[in-house]
Amino acid sequence: MLAADCTEGWCILQAGVQLAAGAADFLGLEVWEQQRREMWAVLAGSWLVCQGPSLFTYSWDDSVADPFRIQRLAQALRVRGASVLEQAWPSSSHCAHLRLHPVQCRELVVAWLQEAKAELSVSNAKPATASLMSKL
């Protein structure tokens, strides 16, 4: 639209729509951030997370996944006695670790699978999972 086409009423309407859209974005972001905080709190305290080894791969320059939260979650799981494998790269695009670090990723996954297999063997040797069922 050209400036000459902007009548006073239309410009006010357009500004109002932009203001409303900005407010909606802001409020939506607040709700989304609150939900993310709740998700991290639930993950850190969940008994389900400790049912096997966890594998975390992330980078310190990730713009999508907060590396500090991932690191804190991994540490919280370790404190609770969980087995955690963790690899943080200085720089690696979000979800591109396998493409950028193929050898390290394969080694991590093999180690994680071996640990999961070992834990499964130990848990299968135990009596029925009554304690697990009581938590459901």
Name beta bridge partners: 87: 57
Q: What is the pLDDT of residue 23?
A: 59
Q: What is the pLDDT of residue 113?
A: 93
Residues of the chain with pLDDT under 50: 1-3, 132-133, 135-136
Tell me the domain boundaries of the chain.
8-45, 49-136
Name beta bridge partners: 59: 89
In Å, what is the CA distance from 82 to each residue of 13, 33, 58? 56, 27, 19
Dist CA 107 CA 101 (whole Å): 10
Name beta bridge partners: 85: 55
Under a CB-based contact definition with an 8 Å cutoff, are residues 85 and 53 in contact? yes
Q: What is the pLDDT of residue 124?
A: 66
Q: What is the pLDDT of residue 41?
A: 73
Work out the widest C-alpha separation in the chain, in whole angstroms: 81
